[in-house]
Amino acid sequence: MDKANPLSTPMVVRSLNVENDPFRPCEDSEEILGPEVPYLSAIGALMYLTNCTRPDISFAVNLLARFSSSPIKRHWNGIKHIFRYLQGTIDLGLFYPNYSKEGLVGYADAGYLSDPHKARSQTGYVFMNGGTAISWRSQKQTLVATSSNHAEVIALHEASRECVWLRSMTQLIMTSCGLEKDKSPTPIYEDNAACVSQMKEGYIKSDRTKHIPPRFFLYTQDLIKENQVEIRYVQFSNNSADLFTKSLPTAIFRKHVHDIGMRHVRTI
């Protein structure tokens, strides 16, 4: 892929028509790739990369890893699309400035029915410290969310769990360095107004929420009462977690990549 033309995003914008989705499962008329195509090796290498230094390819890699048992040509083309994107952004990485007063901040989002073939949504979150990502996740939800609000509540629950661990780690590091602990709650931004309101006001059983298990509400609400997290609303255009839940147009994709602290070496 060294001589391939570079691309501006790691994946194509998916079609709303399920039948034209290039990331749909293998159909009966399509031939599964043989062992001569290094699909598993490519997925393994990309997963290592996305877990360590390249959060911008997290969603695309997570999507293509689902077909490791029966990949076909469409999926292999998706792998090559990621490599072409990496070829054009080989000097792009996470930049951690020496001096930054920004503390721990989180963003959570859900891609409702990101897998329309199995009625599953996508959980995505990212936590930043000093303005740069230090923890992120893009994963298909194991439960079938019956509404976008349901999917967002699950994503916020997962982000809250990660936040507790990150707070304990950062406080341990600050204590060992002789610094004062930051006792203020960690803000987690969410772009679903209904979800934010439900977390702040408490779980209320109604026709719109009775199908959602209370545990997804109660855990996060306990953290709010303990002053560990603070759920805030943010417009969807400024929610950096969008990067981990769906394919995005080039302009929006680049904005979120910049917002999580990724920079080209030539611009530093």
pLDDT reported for residue 21: 86
Task: Calculate the alpha carbon distances from 212 to 42, 103, 122, 138 in Å.
Answer: 38, 32, 16, 21
Is the predicted pLDDT of residue 205 greater than 70, yes or no?
Answer: no
Please, which pLDDT band fits residue 210 given cuts at 50, 70 and 90? confident
Does the structure show a pLDDT above 80 at 208? no
Whether pLDDT at 231 is above 90: yes
Q: Report the chain's mean pLDDT, rounded to a whole number.
A: 91
Q: Residue 164 pLDDT > 80, yes or no?
A: yes
Instruction: Give 243: exposed, middle or buried? Use CB within 10 Å, 0-12, 13-18, 19+.
Output: buried
Contact 188, 108 (CB under 8 A): yes
The mean per-residue pLDDT over the stretch 88-101 comes to 90
Q: Is the pLDDT of residue 223 over 90?
A: yes
Is 147 exposed, middle or buried (CB count within 10 Å of its CB: 0-12, 13-18, 19+)? middle
pLDDT digits (tens, 9 = 90+) for 1-38: 778 899 999 999 887 788 888 888 888 888 999 999 99
Give the tokens for residue 123: 């959980």
pLDDT at 226: 93
| The 3-state secondary structure of 64-91, one letter per residue | HHCCCCCCCHHHHHHHHHHHHHHHHCCC
Cβ neighbours of 97 (radius 10 Å) = 12
Question: Burial of 255 by CB count in 10 Å (0-12 exposed, 13-18 middle, 19+ buried)?
Answer: middle
Closest CA to 103 of 192, 155, 163: 163
Determine phi and psi for 201, rounding to 5 degrees: -90, -15
> Does 208 or 54 have the greater pLDDT score?
54
CA 109 vs CA 9, 65, 156, 158, 176: distances in Å: 20, 21, 7, 10, 33
Which of the two residues, 197 and 47, has the higher pLDDT score? 47
pLDDT of residue 203: 63
Are the beta carbons of 258 and 128 closer than 8 angstroms?
Answer: no
- pLDDT in the model for residue 99: 82
Mean pLDDT, residues 229-242 taken together: 95
Structural domains in the chain plus CATH codes: 18-90 (no CATH), 98-267 (3.30.420.10)
Question: What pLDDT is recorded for position 181?
Answer: 82
